[in-house]
Amino acid sequence: MSIDTLFVDPSRCIGCRACEAACRECDSHKGESMIMVDFIDRGLSVATQPTVCMHCESPVAPCAQVCPVLAILITPEGVVQQADASRCIACRNCVYACPFGVPKIDLSGRLMKKCNLCYDRTSQDLQPWCAQACPTDALWYGTYEQFTHERNGAAVRQTDFGTQAVRTRVYHVLPADGSRLQVGANTDGAVRAGEVSQEEEPWVL
Amino acid sequence: MSVNKDTFDPDRDANYDFQSAGKPETGWAKSDQLPDSLVPTHCSFCGVQCGMYLRVSNGQVTGVEPRDYPHNRGALCPKGVVAYQQVNHPDRLRYPLIRRGGKGGKLERASWDEALDYIVSRWQALQQQHGKDSVAVYSGSSMTNEKCYLMGKFARVGLGTRHIDYNGRLCMSSAGVAYAKAFGLDRAPFPMTDIPETNCILIAGSNVAECFPVMMQWLWRARDNGAKLIVMDPRETPTARTADLWLPLRPGTDVAILNAMLRYVIAEGLTDETYIASRTRDWDKVKAAVEPYTPELAERIAGVPAKRIIAAAEIFGRAPRSMVMHARGIEHSTHGVDNCLACINLSLARGQVGKHGGGVMMITGQGNGQGGREVGQKANQLPGYRHIDVLEERQEVAEVWGIPESEIPGEGAAATEMVKLMATGEIKSCLVICSNLMVSLPDNAVVARALDNLDPLIVIDFFMSETAERADVVLPGSVWCEDEGTTTNLEGRVVKINRAADPPGEGKRDWEIICELARRLGRGQFFDFHSSRDIFDELRRASKGGVADYAGITWEKIDRQSGVFWPCKTADDPGSPHLFTERFAHKDGLARFHPIVYTPAAEEPNESFPLRLTTGRVVYHYLSGNQTRRLGFLNSQAPEPWVEIHPSAAKRFGIVHEDRVRVRTPRGHMELKAIVVPTIRPDTIFVPFHYGHDGAVNQLTNPAVEPTVKIPEYKVCAAIVERIDSPLPTGEQHATENLTSVNAPKMFPYTVGETKGPAETHGKEF
């Protein structure tokens, strides 16, 4: 059976931060965005990328595994929750353990904060605010079957960090011919900052 | 460049509550409070007019919720998400202000009676002494149809002045006239929901991603269905970044590429001859006109490889269904009408206009940019797109207004011309609403002199804009959700804006202010409106039988159908989402081809000013930024303007990334932060235009205008970028001037504002 989940397609991201603005409107954490949008390298491109909790399934939630006080709980549906405020000791273990750099520490509150996949909305069959607002569908919410029916691009839920693979509830969308998301593996042929490939004909005269 | 850190950064609004920093009230203090009601409405910002719900608790707007409307499907851009924060903003104007000490004095709190009596007595004195036309109205399009209609009527019936125009002059006037010339009707001919049906999208001069973010979902749906995307833009915008083909042309050279593409389409036999023969006129003239535009000539003019122009023509020419979309990038030009007509030619030659999944679409920018230009606040128009210089059409409107036809004044000055008349003293007082001239008009040193020449300058606004700062009287108006009414979005879909709050303090709804002014001018009998619905009902009657016919549109029908597309002539007419499917709006039902030749921009680079300066938008801001620069989340993302410059140009001028630099044009200079990025042509620089005072790029832009519709050339002028420590040149320096004071088209006054041939002055035919 297929679950509703998020699909993150950076090729469609326009860097408008509607997701951040919308996340801040959520009743459970007004004014604080649990999603981040970054320029990948503005010195090269206008490309941007949203970062949101991937809700790791296997190994299950590294952040929860390293939490010394069992503050990070996982719902029966497999959604990894923000640290329980009454338990969290702000030790930052989760920050260091997360392979995607998602949990943040609120220094004034001494609390870890991160995305709950809008538990208050999704449990009532609404979309998470970020995907609901996203004007380009770079963040999209639905089932895998719906996604492959409606959209191009390869949705993958496994990210390879060297020899460590992490399977997540949330999908990344790669170009249609991509199948594996290997962090650090695809940089060999890439152009470095400031270099111009000699083979390519100029676009601008 | 990543700013993604391990901690919530109190200085970065993007991930932290900024309420403590004196930013707008957000309603978050009551975050545990569930809304009493959700008010269905639409966004206050761009022409997409996304549906949204406002959360209302105890009569206060406290938040926003998604609304699944046909064209935005629940999506919002960041401007839409935080739009509600305008309502209880601490910067809201709460009571009338008067500059009692005259120019140079301070704006002081006044009562409504004092403010309105002062205005009316000054106006009456001025009009008695200098004639009716000494008072002008400068209106805007980011407000409801009801208000736009009222402004046109107020100027002509309340004041009896010919001088009324609006900020759409700076925005859509070239596209509007191009569509009227080619099709006999000025509206995008299909709804956005058609976009997924197409096979190819050519975007000329629009950064859809940042200007109409919510439209991107429709482009992507088309691309998911296999459509190809071609983007013409001097910058690699987020729209161009993933396009199938990007043509990074020199600003102002669009016609060269469009004509070369058309020539290739003809040469390859890709024209739709049956369509051309049965549905259009004047094809032969265009065929001859594009013949000289070889890909090589286009390459020389536009600076894009000929091969890529051919590739674009191949993709476009062989697509069974294709769409051309264009916006300010080609319209803000001294040949803006020609640019749009060149797009139209291309689409007509392929037989696309009126075909399902094909056609040409202007992407109207302002919230009510479409409605604002058809309900009669334009210098040469009466409600329903009626012409002010056609006797029968004047009579139709005079009858609705209950005045003799002879009392309707003639055509007035265009917005850009008004400034000249203010500077020369012909216009002595001006009422400005929904506009921020000091940020939006080109060469704003001249604008400042013109505004300071007015006595009095009256501004109705809800925030203290850069223009209101210069006013003698400032009247506090309403933000969008404090009033109800209709707007018409970029598809021609009329939607309903609902009231969610009341204006704060002594603020009034704009239409109430205008009606009260009319009463005090002794013209109250023509402005006996008790609600905005009364105004809409009169607008329906006034537009009846016109091109933009709203007669059959009711607020209830809008709710029932999720918007109504005009023309909608009768109660049982569902409206017209698709235009031109059978015939065009000209009397003979045929579309017109117009032969277009390339004309260079009014000002071009030379040794003194070697670069082309182009201006544009940022996704976080709307128009002059008077609203969005006050919303913390938006402003923190883009708090000040910058100049984008290519690394090779930066090297040439000795500039390093994030340096403060001086950008200079023949009009003046300003300091900006340099962003050195390869996403722009090396011969072009870009500055966003949403900022005021020292940050206004309109200190630099060229005030040259299109000779017929008077739209300024914001998108190209000659410029230089200098290190801040380099000395300013002594003596005057000039750029290459293709339009000079000698050969430039004459500004007002001449017979009419928009220069027309005899055919146009004798009827609706262009």
pLDDT value for B742: 60
- Just give the CATH number of A5-183: 3.30.70.20
Q: Do B81 and A22 touch (CB under 8 A)?
A: yes
Residue type, B360: V
Interface contact B449, partner A, CB < 8 A: no
- Give the Å distances, CA to CA, from B625 to A19, B246, B262, B696: 21, 29, 38, 11
pLDDT band of A110, cuts 50, 70, 90: confident
pLDDT value for B760: 46
Q: Which site among B50, B212, B220 would you substitute to test the A interface, given the most A Cβ atoms closer than 10 Å to its Cβ?
A: B220
Residues of B in contact with A15 (CB under 8 A): 238, 619
Report how many Cβ contacts below 8 Å link chain A to chain B: 174
Residues B92-128 pLDDT 10s:
999 999 999 889 899 999 999 999 999 999 999 999 9
C-alpha to C-alpha distance for B45 and B79, rounded to whole angstroms: 7
Q: Do A95 and B6 touch (CB under 8 A)?
A: yes
B664, with CB counted inside 10 A (0-12, 13-18, 19+), is: buried
- Is residue A128 within 8 A of residue A35, CB to CB? The reply is no
C-alpha to C-alpha distance for B688 and B686, rounded to whole angstroms: 7
Q: Do B26 and A30 touch (CB under 8 A)?
A: yes
Q: Do B63 and A25 touch (CB under 8 A)?
A: yes
Domain B603-735, what fold? Answer: Barwin-like endoglucanases (2.40.40)
pLDDT value for B543: 96
pLDDT value for A32: 84
CATH class of B173-362: alpha beta
Q: Is the pLDDT assigned to residue A188 strictly greater than 80? A: no
Residue of B nearest to A103 (CA): B6
Q: Which site among B3, B4, B673 would you substitute to test the A interface, given the most A Cβ atoms closer than 10 Å to its Cβ?
A: B4
Residues of A in contact with B675 (CB under 8 A): 42
C-alpha to C-alpha distance for B478 and B611, rounded to whole angstroms: 42
DSSP letter for B329, please. H
CATH class of B97-168+371-565: alpha beta
pLDDT band of A29, cuts 50, 70, 90: confident
Residues B358-398 pLDDT 10s:
999 999 999 999 999 999 999 999 999 999 989 999 999 99
pLDDT band of A31, cuts 50, 70, 90: confident
Give SS3 for B152.
helix
pLDDT value for B28: 54
Using left for φ > 0, alpha for ψ between -120 and 50, and beta otherwise, residue B522 falls in: left
Mean pLDDT of A84-100: 93
Say what the alpha-carbon torsion angle A24, A25, A30, A36 is, to the nearest 10 degrees: -10
pLDDT value for A42: 85
- Just give the CATH number of B23-86: 2.20.25.90
pLDDT value for A196: 55
Instruction: Choose among A16, A133, A150: nearest Cβ to B619.
Output: A16
Indicate the domain borders of chain A: 5-183
Residues A122-167 pLDDT 10s:
888 899 999 999 999 999 999 999 999 999 999 999 999 988 999 9
CATH 2.40.40.20 maps onto chain B at 603-735
CATH 3.40.50.740 maps onto chain B at 97-168+371-565
User: Tokens 């300058």 sit at which residue?
Assistant: B457
Tokens of B506: 């002594």
pLDDT value for A202: 78
First to last CA, chain B: 53
Q: Is the pLDDT assigned to residue A205 strictly greater than 80? A: no
Q: Do B26 and A136 touch (CB under 8 A)?
A: no
Which of B343, B323, B324 has the alpha carbon at shortest distance from B178? B343
Q: Is the pLDDT assigned to residue A121 strictly greater than 60? A: yes
Residue of A nearest to B233 (CA): A204
Residues of B in contact with A83 (CB under 8 A): none
Query: Which residues, 6 or more positions from B196, have their beta carbon under 8 angstroms from its beta carbon?
Result: B218, B221, B222, B224, B225, B227
Q: Do A104 and B15 touch (CB under 8 A)?
A: yes
Q: Which site among B8, B233, B677 would you substitute to test the A interface, given the most A Cβ atoms closer than 10 Å to its Cβ?
A: B8
pLDDT band of A183, cuts 50, 70, 90: confident
pTM (2 d.p.): 0.94
pLDDT value for A203: 79
Instruction: Choose among A14, A92, A133: nearest Cβ to B238.
Output: A14
Residue type, B36: D
pLDDT value for B4: 44
C-alpha to C-alpha distance for B99 and B696, rounded to whole angstroms: 25
- Is residue B518 within 8 A of residue B153, CB to CB? The reply is no
CATH 3.40.228.10 maps onto chain B at 173-362
Please give, rounded to a whole number of angstroms, the shortest distance from the CA of A166 to a CA of chain B: 21
C-alpha to C-alpha distance for B541 and B563, rounded to whole angstroms: 19
User: Tokens 């003698």 sit at which residue?
Assistant: B472
User: Tokens 């300024």 sit at which residue?
Assistant: B712
Query: Which stretches in chain B have pLDDT values below 50?
Result: 1-4, 10-23, 749-753, 755, 758-766
Interface contact B233, partner A, CB < 8 A: no
pLDDT value for A200: 66
